[in-house]
């Protein structure tokens, strides 16, 4: 399971996904189907996200299918942006 921040045109969202990578073509296609055609993605340590989001993390994780799925854990961009330090994020994945 991967967790990450996706910076979109409307701001950052925090997601959980069963895709193997944020540059997986199937993952990109799934985002495009949701209207997200351009983004920056930063992977986060799943355990760190679990610590910060607690029960909400477990509920959303329980709803994620084993493969080819993604769920939004937090769509409040202000909250997502300030909940994580830059040094807690992996390197950027850019899709344009």
Question: What residue has token string 């709803």?
Answer: 63
For residue range 15-60, list pLDDT tens digits in order.
999 899 999 999 999 999 989 999 999 999 999 999 999 998 888 8
Residue 1 confidence (pLDDT): 84
* Domain tally, the chain: 1
- Average the pLDDT over 63-78 and give the result: 82
Integer CA distances (angstroms), 36 to 12, 29, 51, 57, 96, in order:
12, 9, 28, 23, 10
Domain limits for position 68: 2-95
Nearest to 3 by CA among 51, 37, 64, 45: 45
| pTM of the complete model beyond 0.75 | yes
């Amino acid at each position: 399971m991967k967790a990450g921040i996706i910076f979109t045109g409307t701001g950052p969202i925090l997601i959980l996904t069963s895709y193997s990578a944020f540059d997986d073509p199937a993952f990109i296609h799934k985002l495009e189907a949701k209207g997200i055609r351009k983004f920056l993605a930063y992977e986060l340590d799943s355990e760190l996200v679990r610590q910060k989001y607690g029960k909400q993390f477990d509920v959303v994780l329980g709803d994620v299918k084993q493969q080819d799925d993604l769920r939004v854990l937090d769509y409040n961009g202000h909250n997502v942006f300030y909940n994580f330090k830059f040094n807690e994020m992996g390197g950027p994945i850019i899709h344009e």
